[in-house]
Structure 1
């Protein structure tokens, strides 16, 4: 089927095909105060630190929250 598509469209490589739109899912995080162990991702830890002001997420003040989840500072 791909060969037929390439023949009909003149495309030579798969990267020439249009990209599907990226679907973003809504995050369901809130500012409830839970332990780092209860968080599901580094992104959630960053949300708690930056959006909720939970500075205890970064106990050593190096910009990296919940170091059991994150290995770099939040964006």
Structure 2
């Protein structure tokens, strides 16, 4: 009996891209800063809020573009 030692990986289309990993990391960092129980400088908290807002808008635009592109086909 021959053993197959190949690694099982996700198909190429489902691997997260560098862009998606950066977006997820920034979203997580901004959420942690906003929810931090300690007192942080107001400028840091405001920057994190704006970053979370921008990432939310960007995600909504990307989802709308994906749905709109599927409808046009």
With structure 1 as the length reference, what TM-score do the two structures score? 0.24
Higher relative contact order (CA 8 A, sep 6+): 2
With structure 2 as the length reference, what TM-score do the two structures score? 0.25
CA radius of gyration, larger in: 1
More helix by share: 2
